[in-house]
Chain A
Amino acid sequence: MIWNEKIETMNLEDLKEVQSKRLKSMLDYIYNNSTFYKNKFDKEGINIEDIKSIDDITKLPFTTKEDMRDNYPFGIFSNKSKLAEIHVSSGTTGNPTLVGYTKDDIGLWSDVMARTLGCAGAKPGDVIQIAYGYGLFTGGLGFHYGALEMGLTIIPCSAGMTKRQLKIMEDFKPRILACTPSYAMYMSEDAKDMGMDPRKSSWEIGIFGAEPWSESMRTQIENTWNILATDVYGLSEIIGPGVAQECTNKEGLHVFSDVFYPEIINPTTGQPVKEGEDGELVFTTFTKKAIPVLRYRTRDIVSMTNKQCKCGRTSPRISKIKGRTDDMIVVRGINVFPSQIEHVLVNIEGTTPHYQLVVDRSSKNLDTLEIHVEVEQKIFSDEIKKLTQFENKIQDEIESMLGVSVKVKLLEPRSIERSIGKAVRVIDKRNI
């Protein structure tokens, strides 16, 4: 179903008018309510009166992840006294990125998530099993709010405890499954162990996201579970999930461009690329109140088309994520930056700055993250117990920062290959 028919099927000219109007009111709002943007505009000599339509957006400056981090926690905020909810997402170093919502923002989130669900084929009355993590991670509560808005029955499973998830699926027959694509594959292994036939699952629609995945993985998931597997895109800096979603035609993700305006730029020059070409995805939030962002650089590489989709939605569609402009990796839906690991290691006596992240996908389709760390000579002990304890200490600290489980492997000094240029920090063995 099309949840917000008026907006989602609006003709392009009218949509453009809405976008222009919203951009102008947004600029007015951030200039008057966010010290960060006021300073930025004043410094760069930007007069918001010069912005007449959405086409002028290219005259405005970008916002980066560093801007978010440097102004942590409340710097980029427009008006913090009205916050209804706070989430955090991983930052590139010790400081996380703050994600704040006013009551209106939660309303906006509920609306775009209801659109997302509708886009994937959900309808009021359906039962949804939400197996994205609840809590600070935006996946769980985002879907929760959207499902509530649409009038679905929610089973708030959160992530993990697979046997219980499967039992719940059997007992309550949910039609919709929301989780990361790798977890959907992982669950199929446990299902077989439990003697279930995954093809007979009650799930008809899967809404999978929070990590990059390929068409071949889609085929695998669809055949395994006998399910329609759709892709959802979002990032917490914009709102969480609910930024773009595939319709049942599965030909690109519809961006809810009346509220989150997309641009594709050349990451080096910052200039727009031609329609259909790959580039970095940039978003402007028109109506968000707590943390409005202007031309936020997502660092995700995609292409975009304005061709109209068979489903009737007029919004532009983006491709699946084709890469990143930085070294971020996604492990079980959690964003991980090598610099975060470094931040932990420098504070642990006995480790060295020589480390590597080895990502793999186990035979059971679970992503594994191994941290290889060279340690100083003095750490080695002939007692395995002591080495295990040291390993566990590093592991605890890293897990505490990332919120994802890792395996730590201690290496002798000089066992990681040295490179002359930029050190190779990530070895990704997954075949995504």
Chain B
Amino acid sequence: MMILNNKELDLEINYFDKKNETLDREYLEKLQLTKLVKTVDQALKIEFYKKRLNGIGIKSGRDIKSFEDFKKIPFTSKDELRSSYPKGFLSVDMDDVIRLHTSSGTTGVPTVIYHTRNDIENWAFLTARCMMAAGATKKDIFQNMTGYGLFTGGLGMHYGAEKIGMTVIPAGSGNTKRQIQMMKDFKTTVVHATPSYMLHIYDIIVEEGINLSELSLKRAFLGAEPYGEQTRKKLEDLLKIDVYNSYGLSEMNGPGVSFECIYKNGMHTWEDFFILEIIDPVTGKVLEDGKQGEIVFTTLDREATPILRYRTKDLTHVYKGRCECGRVHRRISRITGRTDDMLIINGANVFPSQIEEVIMKYPEVGTNYQIFLTNKGALDKLTVKVEIYSKMFKGEISELDSLKKRIADHIKSAIIVNPTVELHEPGSLPVSEGKAKRVIDERSKL
């Protein structure tokens, strides 16, 4: 059964690219195979893939004649992507690259995705499709409340909104009072944010005594962290808006991979640009629709950094059947978990190992530490507890304060999230015997 707000019943279905969004299934699969030939040819220009594909007898894209052939290609892992950083996964001349984005890896080594002009164009095209599927039009004023720069959330949606012809306010994240002021002043109708930030915005609206009638908000696109149906309901009721889910990952551009349409019943994944597979994370076996497993993606149109069968480590399932909106592209459910220990803190992906790596660089603190997560209002609060190392303790408060600050800045530089660093007495945190509990997550589920 689809979930609908009453006011939405008379909404019309908009397409940014009707032809390609409503293809029939058979044709779509043919299209995928055609594009796959090109993708594999492109991938063969990368040393890593050349070795791997030649090893299983694939010398050219034309050797992939069916999905059965495709499924013989081994998976690509995040570690493999990182292993040949920085230029290992670049398959075009650097002169043809117009942009690159890096994202933090599980340790110090980042992953990098290169984009040609066509890649950027396609990415904008996909985010435009997404937002239009969720009802945005060129009449909308779009306040983009996610980080700009290397983080893909900002620029990704920015280009799509521009493509639709919306008025874009590149607000970036944070600075909540100013965000609300701009919503009032510029009559913002659509926002893009993380769900926790949207809840925080609501808290501040209440705190500042702002009447909802002063705002013109109609829609929110929320993604980058997991949240439940009850949070959507809550935000929709509180703010009198419609909330749509978004899913993406930087290895697959960023936002613009999967997005809900106005029926809010699963996220359409643009299968003419990505091959979507769900696998059993243990056996690697491809699962049928409806079964829970790990998402695996293959890029279909990317020139600069093609990636074959990438294991996302995100868990979900594919919905059976076609959506009432008429789109052929299959829908995935919300992300229900991870196959690794990655944390999502205020929309940023964080691995405990990244924090550990920073802590180990400071002789003033011991090797025991704890990562403590709580909610402060709607926002996540990250506290990193470390122990003072007796031999390095000088007795001056100012030194301790500066130590706290240096560690906090360093962690921020590594993971983009601002932590509070807490100093503890030696031996007061759990000792790392075997698997110490390093992460204490006391956040209430969204």
Interface residues of A (CB under 8 A from B): 72-73, 83-88, 96, 98, 125, 127, 134-136, 140-141, 148, 151-158, 161-164, 167-168, 171-172, 400-401, 403
CB pair B186 A156 closer than 8 Å:
no
B124 to chain A, nearest CB (A): 12
How many angstroms between the C-alpha atoms of A85 and B85 in the bound complex?
35
Chain B stretch 248-289: residues in CB contact (< 8 A) with chain A: none
CB pair B176 A154 closer than 8 Å:
no
Chain B stretch 114-163: residues in CB contact (< 8 A) with chain A: 141, 147-150, 154-155, 162
How many angstroms between the C-alpha atoms of A153 and B150 in the bound complex?
13
Q: Which of A73, A136, A148 has the most chain B CB atoms closer than 10 A to its own CB?
A: A136
Contacts of A84 in B (CB 8 A): 162, 165, 167-168
CB pair B98 A148 closer than 8 Å:
yes
Secondary structure of the B contact surface, majority rule? mixed
Contacts of A134 in B (CB 8 A): 148-149, 154-155, 170, 172
CB pair B99 A153 closer than 8 Å:
yes
How many angstroms between the C-alpha atoms of A381 and B136 in the bound complex?
53
CB pair A156 B149 closer than 8 Å:
yes
Q: Which listed residue, A155, A156, A400, touches B178 by the CB 8 Å rule? A: A400
Secondary structure of the A contact surface, majority rule? mixed
How many angstroms between the C-alpha atoms of A152 and B177 in the bound complex?
36
The answer, yes or no, to whether B47 is at the interface (CB within 8 Å) is no
Nearest B-chain residue to A399, judged by Cβ: B175
The answer, yes or no, to whether B4 is at the interface (CB within 8 Å) is no
Nearest B-chain residue to A151, judged by Cβ: B98
A152 to chain B, nearest CB (A): 7
B132 to chain A, nearest CB (A): 17
Chain B residues touching A, range: 35 or more
How many angstroms between the C-alpha atoms of A85 and B413 in the bound complex?
29
Interface residues of B (CB under 8 A from A): 85-86, 94-95, 97-102, 110, 112, 141, 147-150, 154-155, 162, 165, 167-172, 175-178, 182, 185-186, 410, 412-414, 416
Knowing A136-B171, A400-B178 are in contact, say whether A157-B98 is a contact too (CB < 8 A): no
Selected A-B contacts with CB under 8 Å, 11 pairs: A85-B168, A86-B186, A125-B95, A135-B149, A153-B95, A153-B99, A155-B100, A157-B150, A164-B110, A171-B112, A172-B100
Q: Which of A155, A156, A161, A167 has the most chain B CB atoms closer than 10 A to its own CB?
A: A156
CB pair A156 B101 closer than 8 Å:
yes
B189 to chain A, nearest CB (A): 13
CB pair A135 B150 closer than 8 Å:
no
Contacts of A162 in B (CB 8 A): 413
Contacts of B94 in A (CB 8 A): 127, 153
CB pair A135 B99 closer than 8 Å:
no
Q: Which listed residue, B86, B97, B170, touches A87 by the CB 8 Å rule? A: B170
How many angstroms between the C-alpha atoms of A87 and B414 in the bound complex?
29
Knowing A161-B412, A171-B85 are in contact, say whether A86-B167 is a contact too (CB < 8 A): yes
CB pair A96 B178 closer than 8 Å:
yes
CB pair B100 A153 closer than 8 Å:
yes
Q: Which listed residue, A73, A135, A168, touches B154 by the CB 8 Å rule? A: A135
How many angstroms between the C-alpha atoms of A87 and B167 in the bound complex?
11
Q: Which listed residue, B85, B150, B182, touches A88 by the CB 8 Å rule? A: B182
Contacts of A85 in B (CB 8 A): 162, 167-170
Nearest B-chain residue to A158, judged by Cβ: B149
Contacts of B410 in A (CB 8 A): 163
B259 to chain A, nearest CB (A): 22
CB pair A161 B416 closer than 8 Å:
yes
Knowing A155-B100, A156-B155, A158-B149 are in contact, say whether A400-B177 is a contact too (CB < 8 A): yes
A299 to chain B, nearest CB (A): 23
Knowing A86-B186, A162-B413 are in contact, say whether A401-B148 is a contact too (CB < 8 A): no
Q: Which listed residue, B99, B168, B412, B416, touches A156 by the CB 8 Å rule? A: B99
Contacts of B102 in A (CB 8 A): 164, 168
Contacts of B171 in A (CB 8 A): 135-136
B287 to chain A, nearest CB (A): 37
How many angstroms between the C-alpha atoms of A263 and B412 in the bound complex?
45
How many angstroms between the C-alpha atoms of A400 and B175 in the bound complex?
5
B346 to chain A, nearest CB (A): 16
Q: Which listed residue, A72, A125, A141, A148, touches B170 by the CB 8 Å rule? A: A141
A265 to chain B, nearest CB (A): 32
How many angstroms between the C-alpha atoms of A353 and B413 in the bound complex?
36
Knowing A73-B185, A163-B413, A400-B178 are in contact, say whether A86-B169 is a contact too (CB < 8 A): yes
Contacts of B154 in A (CB 8 A): 134-135
Contacts of B185 in A (CB 8 A): 72-73, 98
How many angstroms between the C-alpha atoms of A403 and B168 in the bound complex?
20
7 A-B pairs closest in CB distance: A158-B149, A135-B172, A134-B148, A171-B86, A73-B185, A83-B167, A154-B99
B361 to chain A, nearest CB (A): 11
CB pair A140 B97 closer than 8 Å:
no
How many angstroms between the C-alpha atoms of A183 and B36 in the bound complex?
45
How many angstroms between the C-alpha atoms of A420 and B94 in the bound complex?
63
Q: Which of B94, B99, B177 has the most chain A CB atoms closer than 10 A to its own CB?
A: B99
B110 to chain A, nearest CB (A): 8
A50 to chain B, nearest CB (A): 36
CB pair A157 B149 closer than 8 Å:
yes
Contacts of A73 in B (CB 8 A): 185-186
CB pair A400 B176 closer than 8 Å:
yes
Nearest A-chain residue to B95, judged by Cβ: A125
